[in-house]
Amino acid sequence: MVFAAIPSPSRGVVHLGPVPLRAYALMIIIGIVVAVVVTGRRLRARGMDPALAGEIAYWAVPFGIVGARIYHVLSTPDAYFGEHGHVADVVKIWNGGLGIWGAIAGGALGAWLAARRLGISLALFADAAAPGIILAQAIGRWGNWFNQELYGKPTTLPWAVRIDPAHRADPGVATYQPTFLYEFLWNLVVAAILLLVDRRHRLGRGRLFALYVALYTFGRLWIEMLRIDTADEILGLRVNIWTSAIVCVGAVVALLVVRRPVDPDVSPQEQRALGLVQDRTRRQPTDAAGETAGETRTATRHDDATDGVDVNGADVDGADPSNVNGANVNGADPVNVNVNDADGAGAGAGEQPVAGAENGAAAVSSGRTRVERPPAT
C-alpha cells in the first residue's frame, strides 16, 4: 500500500491567456533563459562581453534541438518507422522525445560555428557555459513530469510519482520511481560542484566542460538503469547506458590529458580569463642599506575577476602599457617605462627581476621600478 506519492499534473498544457503552451516546451524555454543568464554573468566575471552568451545561444539552441530530436528518433526507430509507428510524428517535438546526447552534440556544433564567426575560443566559452547548461538540463527534466513519461520501475517509496492510468506502463501499478526528480537533483549537485571547482581551481582550456560531461554521464548511468520505457538494447543494456558509459570515459580521459600551460596562441585577455596569467607581484622587505632582502616573488591568483597589482603606483594587470606613472605591465607589448625614476637612468645595484612581465624585463630597487624592452636581436 502506498501512503504517499508525488502527484502528476492532470494536463501537460499551460495556457498563457488565450495561447496554449506545452509545459514540456515551457520548461525547455525557461532552461535556455537560465543558461544564457548564468553564462553571461560568468563571461562578465572573466572580463568578456556577456552578450556573447546570447549570440552563441542563437546558433547553439536550434542546432541542439534538431540534434536532440534526431538522436531520439534514431535511438527509438520503431516508434516512428515500425509497424505501428507514424513517420509524421518525427516532427512533433511538443509530444516529448529529445535525446540529451543529440542536444549536446548539436549544440556543440552550433556553438563551434558561432565561436568561429565571433573569433573567440570555444573551450573558453564552454567552461563558462557548463554550469548554466547543467542547470538548463535540470529544469528541462520537469517536462517529463508534465508529460508523465520516462519514469522508473514500480515502487512504494513515499517519494514515488503517481502516474495516471492512461500513461502507466502496468495498468495495475500506480506509482513509479521519479527518475525526472533524481536527475533534477543530480544536476543541481553537478552545478554546485562545477561552480566550487571553478572558484578554487580555474581548470581552463575546456577542462571544466569535460568535468561537467563526466559528472553528468556518471549520474545518468544509474538513473538510466531505473527506467522501464521502451528502448533499443545492445547486449542486454539500453543504448543510453552504453552511450553514457562511453561518453563518461571520454570525458575523464580529456580531463586528465588536457594540460594547463599557457598557450602562445591564446590572447592575453583569454589567458587572464582562464586564470593563467593573473600574477600578483610583491617585494620582500629591504634591509637597512636599502638593498632588497630577497628576490621578488610572484603568486598566481585564480579569482573570478582579474585583480590589478600595484607596484609603486603602477597597475600591473591593465590594458594600456603606454601610461607612464601608473603604467601596467601585463596588458600588451610594453614600451620602455620608468616609474618614479625622473632621470631615466635606471635602477641601482639592488635590482631584482620581476616575474610575469610580458615581452619585457623589470627591475626593482629601493623606491623605483623600471620596465624596459629587451634589445632587438
Model pLDDT for residues 196-215, shown as the tens digit of each residue: 999 988 787 889 999 999 99
pLDDT at 260 over 70: no
Same domain, 342 and 372: yes
The least confident of 34-38, 131-135, 365-369 is 365-369
6 falls within a domain: no
Q: How confident is the model at residue 362, as a pLDDT? A: 42
pTM recorded for the entire structure: 0.66
Report pLDDT digits (tens) over 85-99: 788 888 887 776 788
Same domain, 248 and 311: no
Which range marks the domain in which residue 120 is found? Answer: 13-268
1 falls within a domain: no
Which residue among 249, 268, 287 closes a domain?
A: 268
Which residue among 215, 249, 268 closes a domain?
A: 268
Same domain, 111 and 173: yes
3 falls within a domain: no
Same domain, 120 and 65: yes
Same domain, 257 and 282: no
Same domain, 137 and 158: yes
Mean pLDDT in residue range 306-311: 40
Q: How confident is the model at residue 358, as a pLDDT? A: 44
pLDDT at 76 over 90: no
Same domain, 291 and 152: no
pLDDT at 106 over 60: yes
| Structural domain count, the chain | 2
Q: Is 141 known as a binding-site position?
A: yes
End-to-end CA distance of the chain: 86
In the chain, alpha helices (H): 23-45, 51-75, 78-81, 100-118, 122-140, 142-147, 179-200, 207-224, 239-257, 268-274
Same domain, 317 and 264: no
Q: Name the residue among 5, 322, 377, 323 with its Cα closest to residue 162.
A: 5
Q: Which residue has the higher pLDDT, 128 or 311?
A: 128
315 falls within a domain: yes
The least confident of 43-57, 90-104, 139-153, 174-188 is 90-104
Which residue among 268, 285, 312 closes a domain?
A: 268
Same domain, 264 and 281: no
Instruction: Decide: helix, strand or coil at residue 155.
Output: coil
Average pLDDT of the chain is 76
Percent of the residues in the chain that have a pLDDT greater than 90, as a whole number: 44
Same domain, 68 and 179: yes
Task: Kindly report the number of other CB atoms within 10 A of residue 56's CB atom.
Answer: 27
4 falls within a domain: no
Same domain, 201 and 306: no
Q: How confident is the model at residue 270, as a pLDDT? A: 56
